[in-house]
Structure 1
Amino acid sequence: MTADRQSDTQAAYTQIRSRILDGRLAAGCPISPRSMADELMLGHMPVRSAIQRLVVEGLVEVIPRKGTYVTAPTTMDLREIFEVRLALESTAAYLAAVNGATDGLMAAADQLRRVVDDESTDLHAEQRIGWAFHQEMFSAAKNERLFTSYRVLRAQSGLAFNELRHDDATTVRRGTLEHLSIYASIESNEPEAARRHMWNHIIDNTDARIRLIRGQQDKAS
């Protein structure tokens, strides 16, 4: 493979993968290599090579005599994903409390406090800050292998880690307050409390979150 072909394949891979992970290509969505090549203004061979990489990662599946589709995780897949998240994120919270809050984590917590104090009603903005909080917590854990495992799981499970939007203000605010409880334990260097709060945060409404994801998939199919 020439250097140009490798470069185009990487570009196609990055762009298609990004579309899957941010929800622009939803679970069950068909992917036409020819249409995708035209959309990305890249050659057909690099796009096909990129799609094959995504098949290996589990983000895309090829169904014989039907076509290529974004992988839709089963209910069992989703439950296993959340169980692994439970282990990774509770451990990250524990380690963050051992190491102490970073500037990034403090900034995320400050934003969450302002949301509560200002009685903000911008639910999507509130959720984005919450997602940033999780990222900063992994940085504060200072364990690159743990963070890499989290990123790999994200890449393999796409939809379950996508920015699932809730329109229920009570649910969103409860999540914000849970984040602040986690942060308080990290700031106080209480690792067991931080682990417990994160464990409860992930396990809270897991079944409802799985139903929400499955419902979105059913609508898309």
Structure 2
Amino acid sequence: MTVPRHTLLNAAYDHVRAAILDGSLTPGSRVTVRPLTEQLGLSPTPIKAALAALERQGFLVAVPHRGYFVPEGSTDDLLELYELREALDGIAARRTAGAPGHDRIADQLERLLARQRKAIEANNLQSYGELDLAFHRLIWEGSGSRRLIPIAENLIAQVRMGNRLSAQAPGRLPVAVDEHEAILAAIRDGDPRAAERHTRDHVRAAGQALRRYLGVAGGAEQP
């Protein structure tokens, strides 16, 4: 039986996207067709289509005559991302707090928050990063917006990179969890304005922490 072409494309797409998101393909890595054909047992056609789709969504960058690469993200790119997230996440939190099932979502957020605190106590930055993304993704999904969710999902690769760096800013993680607590409380109370305000403040603070961290790192490299 012939497997539909779109199924093969999806298999290649999901494989490469997952490798980018879990860090198996690190920023700057080159992604080529031949190794993927061997790994996945697919012909080049669906793999090329999958890489092109990932490039359109920002997961890869195409370099003429060299192929596809996992984007490294400049400082300006990362800081711009936080500006976009401030608006996007703020809207999502406002909509989630006003949704009929906001108390159920708050219960799920509370469980994630407890796990975040444990990750910090264990100094497990990787686990915290996954839980932080899960916290925000749950709010995106809770917004019920068919347009917002795919936009947010397409930013995940860049979000992971920014979160990984801002989490290394001294003292940032305990403060971030307290900010999550404020967002959670506003959603539980069904207060859209407070949920948006706390979320915007949180994302802005994360961006400022990233700016400080990159400033310190950059300064250390100067002669």
Flag whether TM exceeds 0.5 (same fold): yes
Residue 173 of structure 1 corresponds to: 174
How far apart are the structure 2 equivalents of 1:203 and 1:13? 32
How far off its partner does 1:111 sit? 4.3
Letter in 2 for 1:200: D
TM-score (norm 2): 0.77
CA deviations 1:65-117 (Å, max 9, x no partner) are 43431233333332322211111111111222222624243132144247659
Residue 220 of structure 2 corresponds to: none
Residue 184 of structure 1 corresponds to: 185
Greater shift, 169-178 or 82-91, is seen at: 169-178
> Judging changes above 3 Å, is the alpha-carbon distance between structure 1 residues 13 and 179 closer, same or farther for their aligned structure 2 residues?
same
Residue 8 of structure 1 corresponds to: 8
TM-score (norm 1): 0.78
Indicate the SS of the match to 1:198: helix
Greater shift, 40-49 or 10-19, is seen at: 40-49
> Judging changes above 3 Å, is the alpha-carbon distance between structure 1 residues 141 and 63 closer, same or farther for their aligned structure 2 residues?
closer
> Judging changes above 3 Å, is the alpha-carbon distance between structure 1 residues 167 and 149 closer, same or farther for their aligned structure 2 residues?
closer
Residue 105 of structure 1 corresponds to: 106
Pairwise CA RMSD: 3.0
How far off its partner does 1:169 sit? 7.5
Letter in 1 for 2:130: R
> Judging changes above 3 Å, is the alpha-carbon distance between structure 1 residues 190 and 76 closer, same or farther for their aligned structure 2 residues?
same
How far off its partner does 1:29 sit? 0.8
> Judging changes above 3 Å, is the alpha-carbon distance between structure 1 residues 65 and 161 closer, same or farther for their aligned structure 2 residues?
same
Could you say which structure has the greater relative contact order, defined with CA pairs below 8 angstroms and 6 or more residues apart? Answer: 1
Aligned residues: 209
Greater shift, 182-191 or 138-147, is seen at: 138-147
Indicate the SS of the match to 1:24: coil
- Are the counterparts in 2 of residues 105 and 140 from structure 1 also a CA contact under 8 Å? no
Greater shift, 21-30 or 116-125, is seen at: 116-125
How far off its partner does 1:58 sit? 3.2
How far off its partner does 1:20 sit? 1.7
